Amino acid sequence: MAIRRVYGSLDSPNTLKVLAAMFEHDIDFEFVPIDIEAGENKRPEFLSMSPFGQIPVYEDGPIRQFECRGVVRSTAHEYAHRKPAGQEIICWEARKQALIANWIDVEDLKFEPAVLAVLNDNNPAAMADNHHHHQSAEANLCKVLDVYEAQLKKHKYLVMDKFTAADLLHLPNLQTLKDNPTTRSLVDARPRVSAWADEILTRPSWVKVVNMIKGC
Ligand SMILES: N[C@@H](CCC(=O)N[C@@H](CS)C(=O)NCC(=O)O)C(=O)O
């Protein structure tokens, strides 16, 4: 029986980031679905693991982590030895790891908020209600993606010429942007962002997450 558990929802991008990290390192784990609509994340037993009442939670014996980026970083270090040398998704050299850390923060503070702002008001009612707000959310996401387009001129992946934890963290929201007919063009209009998205979205660890969502 798996000693590790991921508590979360397949509707939650932050849960999907942690699941991608599990598959990336072949970590044996049990998935425990948490129903946010039913308020399971606000029950005392869940709050004892995740004091802000949010998913995901990663449990490994006595260790419980409730921030998805922390889980991705710590598992990438703990299970790095499972990957061939040079293919770890972190770097052992502090100065190279600093660059990965930088782009992990960019995903957290720039990319995800910009994507969610567009997706959250990307329904006809919201768009009609607040056309200017929607336009400015889209303009903001375009600015972020322009920075990515420039960054991806330097390397095949976001930080360097290998896939890192920073790339992994982008998978769920990139998938949503690509799947949504009204946002796909924002990715496709930027050749390097588009090539990067196509490459990382076919990574076996992410395909396993997508199959889990599809129920296969
Ligand atoms: N900083 C947390 C944020 C987690 C988060 O926003 N989780 C959402 C689902 S993706 C959630 O639990 N929402 C329910 C709530 O906040 O009550 C992380 O990165 O893991």
3-state secondary structure 157-185: CCCCCCCCHHHHHHHHHHHHHHHCCCCHH
The whole-angstrom separation of Cα 97 and Cα 111 is 20
In the sheet with 29-33, reading across from the earlier edge strand, the strands are 29-33, 4-8, 57-60, 63-65
Supply the pLDDT for residue 40.
98
Residue 71 Cα: closest atom of ligand 1: 20
Q: Is any atom of ligand 1 closer than 6 Å to the C-beta of 54?
A: yes
Residue 35 one-letter amino acid = D
pTM for this entry: 0.95
pLDDT band, very low/low/confident/very high, at 137 (cuts 50, 70, 90): very high
pLDDT reading at 3 higher than 90: no
The whole-angstrom separation of Cα 69 and Cα 108 is 8
pLDDT band, very low/low/confident/very high, at 132 (cuts 50, 70, 90): confident
Residue 54 Cα: closest atom of ligand 1: 12
- Residue minimizing CA distance to atom 15 of ligand 1: 54
Residues 146-172: what's their mean pLDDT? 98
Q: What is the pLDDT of residues 104-125, one digit of tens each?
A: 999 999 999 999 999 987 666 6
Query: How many CA atoms lie less than 13 Å away from 21 in the CB half-sphere?
Result: 32
Q: What is the pLDDT of residues 18-33, one digit of tens each?
A: 999 999 999 999 999 9
Q: Is any atom of ligand 1 closer than 6 Å to the C-beta of 173?
A: no
pLDDT reading at 1 higher than 60: no
Contacts of 19 (CB under 8 A, 6+ apart): 6, 8, 31, 208, 209, 212
Q: Is any atom of ligand 1 closer than 6 Å to the C-beta of 12?
A: yes
CB atoms under 10 Å from CB of 177, counted, come to 23
Q: Is any atom of ligand 1 closer than 6 Å to the C-beta of 112?
A: no
Q: 19-29: string of b/e by CB count within 10 Å (b at 16+)?
A: bbbbbbbebeb
- Residue minimizing CA distance to atom 11 of ligand 1: 54
Q: What is the pLDDT of residues 74-83, one digit of tens each?
A: 999 999 999 9
Q: How far is the CA of 38 from the centre of ligand 1 (A)?
A: 15
pLDDT reading at 126 higher than 70: no
Residues 10-25: what's their mean pLDDT? 98
- What residue ranges define each of the domains in the chain, with the CATH number in brackets? 4-86 (3.40.30.10), 94-205 (1.20.1050.10)
Mutate to test the pocket of ligand 1, among 54, 108, 119 (most ligand atoms within 8 A of CB): 54
Helix (H) / strand (E) element for 127: namely: helix 124-129
pLDDT reading at 46 higher than 90: yes
The mean pLDDT value of the chain amounts to: 95
Q: Is any atom of ligand 1 closer than 6 Å to the C-beta of 76?
A: no
3-state SS assignment for residue 42: helix
Residues 161-174: what's their mean pLDDT? 98
Q: How far is the CA of 68 from the centre of ligand 1 (A)?
A: 9
pLDDT band, very low/low/confident/very high, at 133 (cuts 50, 70, 90): confident
**Are the C-beta atoms of residues 117 and 181 closer than 8 Å to each other?**
no
